Structures are given as C-alpha cells and as structure tokens.
A and B are shown apart, each in its own frame.
Chain A
C-alpha cells in the first residue's frame, strides 16, 4: 500500500524553477527562462499523470472504495504535545484529479506563453511567477491538513497578485491586483476564523481526523461543536460558513466576485491559468474537501453554498451577455460556471447515488478547466493579433486564424453543453442532481445554461464573424507553433474529456456511481442551448442594428447589467462613504489628536527640560573641569560633614 514518494517532487519542481528563475533569471536566463520553466513543468505533469495512473488503476482502491492516503506527514511546528502544525501530502480522488488538471493546464500555459510573452523585458520574472503559482496551487491540492491548505491558499493569493500586477506600469493593472488581493484577503480572514473554530472543537488540524470526528454521530467533538452557538447558530455552521467565505472569495462567488473581472488586467495566459482553471476552483475544492462535514453534519451550511452558487451562476451569466471586453465576458462566464460547481455541491448528499451532485461538480471542474483555459488561450491569441480586448476591434478573424477559430468554436460548444462535447456530460450530471434535489435551483441552472450558450456565441460571432476579413490586413500571422499546440491539445481534451469515467472514480464516499442520464432528460437543456446559439446567430453573425435596438428596448435592465449591476459602486459606497466616514475619520482623528498628541506632549516636556539644562554642554573644556571640580569639592564637603 506504499505510495511513490515522487509525489513530493510534483510541487517542488515548480518551486525550484521559481527560485532559479527568480534569483538568476534576469541575468543568466533572460532568453531560456521559458524553456527551463516549461521543461520543469513537463516533468511535474508527467509525474502527475503517473500518480493518477498509479492511484486510479493500481493501488488507490481497497475493496472497491477509493482511499484517502497520507503519503508523507511530518511535524513542522510543535506547539504542545497535543497541538502541532504538520506538513503532509494527502492523496484522494479529487487531489489526483486536481493534480492532473493543474499541472496540465499550467504546462499548456507555459507553452503558450513562450510565444505570447516573447520579447517582454521581464520574461524570466514572468516564468518565475508562473512557477511560484504552480507550486502553491499543487501544494494546496496536496495539503493534508487544514492549516497547510491555508498556507498555500495565501501563497496562491500572493502569486495571483504578482501575476495580475505583472504590467505594473499600467495603473489599472496595479489597481486590479490590489483589489484582487484585498477582496480575497478579506475573505481569507473568514477562512482563518473558520479554521480556528473547526480545529478548536475537533482538536486537530488534520483533514482525515477532523472529518471523522465531526461526522461521526454522537462523537464528543460533534456534540461540543453543535452545543456551542453564537447568535443562535451553532459553532459548526459558523465554522463551515466562514470556511466557505474563504472559498467564495477565491472562487469569485457573489458578493465577493468583484475582483475577478478586474483581474483580467494580467497577461492573458495568466488569466487562463489562474482565473479559469486553477485558483478560482480552489474554493470548490475546499468545499469538496470538507464535503463530508457539510453533507453529514450540517445541511444548513450546504444550503448556503447551494443558493450562493446558483445565484452567482445566474447573476454572472446575465452580466456576461452585456460586456464588450472579451476577457471580461470570459471572466463572468467563469464565475457562472463556478457557480454551477458550487450549487452542484450544495444539492448533493454524501453517500451512494445521492452523491451525484458532488460527482457532477468535480466532473464539471475537470471539463471546465480544459475548455475554459482553451477559451482564454484562444482569446489570448486573438488579443495578440489585434492588440485590443474590445469586441468592436475584432470580427472576421476566422480566415486569418483558422486553428484559433476551430478550437474556440469547440470550446464554445463545450461550454454551451452541446453533445458530444465535454461540457454536455458534466452539465447533465449537475442538472440531474439539482432536478432530483431542488426544483428552484434546477430552473435557475436551466436558464443559466441557455444564457451561457447565448453569450458564448455572441462572443464567438463577434470575434470571428460579423465583419469582413480584409479589415485586419497588415497584421502578423496567427502565432508561433508553441501557441498553436496548446490550443490543439486543449481542443482535443475539450472534446474527449467528457468520456472520462469520472463517475466511477471521483465520488464523495469513494464508491463508484453508475448514473446514466436519460436522453429524454437531456432534450430540454440541449434545446435551450441550441435556442441560445440560434438567437446569437441571428443577432451577431453579421453586423446589424438589431442588438442595439434590443439593448435600447431593454432600457434600464441592459444598462444595469452592463454596469455589472452596480456592485462595484455599492462596494465603493460602503467603503468610501460609510467605512471611511464612520470608522476611518474618527480613527484618524483619534490617532492624530489622542495618540499623537500624547506623544507630542511627552516630546514637548522632554524638549523643555533639555532646554533648561543644555547650557551645561557649553563645549568648553574648562567649564567641564570646573563642574568636575565642583562635584568633587561638594562630595568632599558632604563626606566630611555628613559622615557619621
């Protein structure tokens, strides 16, 4: 039952790349940095594949159930005999799946960036940051305890901050990176408190033990955490909700989503890596990691997850229909798809066939990683060509960029859920699970699915059709082969990833599910998607007046959606007007007048005293001799007369 120790190398190789490129990159590897990073990651990817093979086909199963295996565990900080922070590696189906997804997508992004970032002055730094990010993300999915996951969680946040702000000479990029960092940090505050609550009652940080203690009915730990309550809600619910708050921050769930669209200021391959396939699903991963606790002990918290996810999915889809920056459309679509994964977890139950939602969520995470990073890389290729993010600068590119065009189309079909592309399969599972569990969520999901097809094809037509091709003559070609290969590979995966038998591998309790969605069930969502596509075709295939007329007809609704429902303004209002005025200004006044005033008073007293006595320091040596003499004489007199 021993597991190969080379798993340790999977995150360590990107870390080594980061250190080498970060320290020596600009001096010695300014041209070869990309090759070094890519080769390092290729090794990691191969090791991940080998781990996945080993786990799923050789040693992961015991009696037909996939096990949670702790490969390595060593005590890092021992606070007291009972409390310690460990570092370890935990292998279970979702970890293995995430390993494959993260390392593979990261490899594709490394490869794509060879062409995309060519000629950047900070080329080596870029690859160093990519290495750091990949290391943190792989470390996150491998973490064996909840504190370790928090460490890597923050590392992921930092590397995301660095990558979003990569073009730091652009003020908007700086603002976006700050926003992303602050919003996710704010959410992580909740996460940290959640960790403390859970581990305080469970007396452990280790995932395996924590889950066991908090799910066994009648265990003293579970009783204690249920008995404790705050504001009428049990400590368990608080802990889980706070942990979910951290997850919602990273996964851009409403209302903590505001950083994601702005994060598109980073280089496009970075968006493909961080804001499509890996970091933003960290929240889903976290909920999935603690899923047994959610599902078995606290359905109320799971309901919050469900409604947050469903609302975010719909909300983001509406906004995505109105955006004109292609990367922002993709950002909102990411948010919407992650909402899918979240509510899929929310509708799921723990064991057996009822665990369909969990499986669907992980399945969707898997397929989404491929087609969404493909979409972003395709968008990157387009932006690389036309040097703009705006839809109006594009159009008619299908002849000029045939490979990008085909792969983008495949990805759009996949995300729209058209059979037999991968998105269809995972979405069907999610819809099925929500249909069985909650009709309201099912309705939202259906609607969102139609909207998804509509806005994706709006994007597709605006980029590749809508205008005559000769608009763009004089541009360079489609890009280097290093940019095309990732597109082709990901397109192939976007087609075939749906046939991976996730249902027999990744389930909540480790038992295989044999679910088959009946064809009659698929008719409705697919026909909705087709309707969305047809509508988009009618409106956007050739440039016409109709979309604008409809926008005017919709009036306020359209305007509100294109302004992202004023969420940013609400945040600004809350922070600037309310927080700054009510808390900031009094605090500043207190600081200036009371805190500083006290210090100033002390300083004034000291200065006054020294003014009195500083005349002694005349700088004349004879004065000093005189004082000395006077002192001695005084001592002698005192000695003679007072000595008894």
Chain B
C-alpha cells in the first residue's frame, strides 16, 4: 500500500482551515461561527498529527499538542456557548449584527 504523500494531507487541512475562515467571516449566526472556529482548530490538529507522523515518527509531541488543542477547544466551546446564551438573554438574538453597541 503506497503511502499518501504529506502534501495531500496539507491540502486537506488548509482547505478545511479556509472553509473555517470563510464561515467565520460570512456567517452572522454565532453558533455557525463557533462551528467554523472548530473547523479551523481541527485543520490545525490534522497538521500536527501529519507532521508528527511524516517528519518525526519516533516522537509523540505533535499528538500531545493535538490532545491539548482538543481539550482547549472543548473548554472554549463551553465558554463560547455561555457567551451566546448571555447574548441571547440580553438581545433576544444570536445574530452578531444585533450586538454592535461597542462601536465608536
């Protein structure tokens, strides 16, 4: 079984990353934005794992980092959802366009 080259995986991860970026910039719904952020995080995870596997197969650092990122992402999701709930309570909407008090 021939190995999948590293570049393919990197294409996948950067595709995933920019889908996330696009989603973050275009979606007005905060839950969708949160999902986009998760996409970006996961693309980074893929990068970590693949670099670890292809460049330093005898080490585990990249995998450790992936585990950290997943943990942090879980915590971040909890915080983000708390923010979204509070936003909903105060503005009765989770559309970011409705929460624009913090301007000049």
Report which A residues bind B (CB closer than 8 A): 614-615, 617-622, 625-626, 629
Chain A residue contacts of B103, Cβ below 8 A: 617-620
Q: Which of B41-49, B52-60, B61-69, B93-101 contacts A (4 or more CB under 8 A)?
A: B93-101
Q: Are A618 and B96 in contact (CB under 8 A)?
A: no
Residues of B within 8 Å of A, CB-based: how many? 14
How distant is A608 from chain B, measured CB to nearest CB, in Å?
14
CB <8 Å contact, A620 and B100:
yes
Given the known interface contacts A626-B25, A629-B21, the answer about A621 and B96 at a Cβ–Cβ threshold of 8 Å is yes
Residues of B within 8 A of A629 (CB): 21, 25
Instruction: Give the residues from 16 to 59 in chain B that come closer than 8 angstroms, CB to CB, to chain A.
Output: 21, 24-26, 28, 33
- Distance to closest chain B CB from A483 (angstroms): 70
Contact of B101 among A619, A625, A626 (CB under 8 A): A619
In the complex, the answer to whether A622 meets B101 with C-beta atoms within 8 Å is no
Flag if B97 contacts A620 (CB, 8 Å).
yes
Given A619-B100, A620-B103, 8 extra CB contacts under 8 A: A618-B103, A619-B101, A620-B97, A621-B99, A622-B24, A622-B25, A622-B26, A622-B96
**What is the CB-to-nearest-CB distance from A289 to chain B, in angstroms, rounded to a whole number?**
67
**Complex: chain A residue closest to B27, CB-CB:** A622
**Which chain A residue shows the least CB distance to B30?**
A621
- Residue among B25, B100, B102 making CB contact with A625, cutoff 8 Å: B25
Q: In the complex the two chains form, is A617's CB within 8 Å of B104's CB?
A: yes
Question: Which residue of the partner chain A has the closest CB to B37?
Answer: A625
Does B21 lie within 8 Å of A614, measured CB to CB? no
Q: Which residues in A have their C-beta under 8 angstroms from that of B33?
A: 622
The count of A-to-B residue pairs whose CB atoms sit within 8 angstroms is 30
Q: How far is the CA of A494 from the CA of B45 in the complex (A)?
A: 106
> Which chain A residue lies CB-closest to B101?
A619
Residues from chain B with Cβ under 8 Å of A626 in the complex: 25
Task: Report B18 CB to chain A, min CB distance, Å.
Answer: 11
Question: Could you list some 15 contacts between A and B, CB below 8 A?
Answer: A617-B102, A617-B103, A619-B100, A619-B101, A619-B103, A619-B104, A620-B96, A620-B100, A621-B99, A622-B24, A622-B25, A622-B26, A622-B28, A625-B24, A629-B21
Residue of B21, B101, B103 most packed against chain A (CB within 10 A): B103
List B residues at the A interface (Cβ < 8 Å).
Answer: 21, 24-26, 28, 33, 96-97, 99-104
Residue ID in chain B nearest A611 by CB atoms: B104
Q: In whole angstroms, how far apart are the Cα atoms of A345 and B69 in the complex?
A: 95
For A615, what are the chain B residues with a Cβ–Cβ distance below 8 Å?
Answer: 104
Give every chain B residue within 8 A of A619 (Cβ-Cβ): 99-104
Chain B residues, CB < 8 A from A617: 102-104
- Assess the B21–A618 pair: CB atoms within 8 A: no
Collect the chain A residues with CB atoms within 8 Å of residue B21's CB: 629
Report the bound CA distance from A614 to B102 in whole Å: 12
What are the 6 tightest A-B residue pairs by CB atom distance, in nearest-first order?
A: A619-B103, A619-B100, A614-B104, A617-B104, A619-B102, A617-B103
Measured in the bound complex, the distance between the Cα atoms of B49 and A78 in whole Å is: 73
Chain A residue nearest to B28 (CB atoms) is: A622
Give the distance in Å from the alpha carbon of A622 to the alpha carbon of B33 in the complex.
Answer: 9
C-alpha spacing A618/B104, complex, angstroms: 7
- Chain A residues with CB below 8 A from B101, complex form: 619
Query: Which residue on chain B has the smallest CB distance to residue A617?
Result: B104
Complex CA–CA separation, A618 to B96 (angstroms):
12
Contacts of A618 in B (CB 8 A): 100, 103
In the assembled complex, the CB of A486 is this many whole angstroms from the nearest CB of chain B, namely 72
Chain B residues, CB < 8 A from A625: 24-25
How far, in whole Å, are A617 and B101 apart by their CA atoms in the complex?
Answer: 10
Nearest chain A CB to B87 CB, angstrom units: 11
User: How far, in Å, is B83 (CB) from chain A's closest CB?
Assistant: 11
Which B-chain residue is minimally distant from A624 (CB atoms)?
B102
Docked complex Cα distance between A618 and B21 (Å): 20
Chain A, Cβ-Cβ closest to B97: A620
Interchain nearest-CB distance for A64 vs B (Å): 88
Chain B residues in 8 Å Cβ range of A620: 96-97, 100, 103
Q: Which residue of A lies closest to B26 (CB)?
A: A622
* Contact partners of B97 in chain A: CB under 8 A: 620
- Docked CA distance A622–B104 (Å): 16
In the docked arrangement, what's the CA distance between A615 and B103, Å? 9
Q: Chain A contacts of B26 at CB under 8 A?
A: 622
A626–B27 Cα gap in the complex (Å)? 13
Tell me the minimal C-beta distance from A640 to chain B in angstroms: 15
Residue of A nearest to B100 (CB): A619
Q: Would you give the shortest CB distance from B99 to chain A, in whole angstroms?
A: 8
Q: CA of A314 to CA of B28 in the docked complex: distance in angstroms?
A: 93
Specify which of A615, A625, A626 lies most central, judged by the most chain B CB atoms within 10 Å of its CB. A625
Which one of A614, A621, A625, A629 has the greatest number of beta carbons of chain B within 10 Å? A621
Residues in A whose Cβ lies below 8 Å from that of B100? 618-620
A157 to B4, CA, bound (A): 96
Q: State the CA gap A621–B103 with chains docked (Å).
A: 10
| Min CB–CB distance A613 → chain B (angstroms) | 9
Chain A nearest CB from B16 CB (Å) reads 16
Taken together as a complex, chains A and B put the C-alpha atoms of A620 and B100 apart, in Å, by 6
Q: How far is the CA of A619 from the CA of B91 in the complex (A)?
A: 15
Interface centre among A614, A617, A622 (most CB of B within 10 A): A622
Query: Residue on A with the closest CB to B103?
Result: A619
B100 CB to closest chain A CB, in angstroms?
4
Complex Cα–Cα for A48 and B79 (A): 78
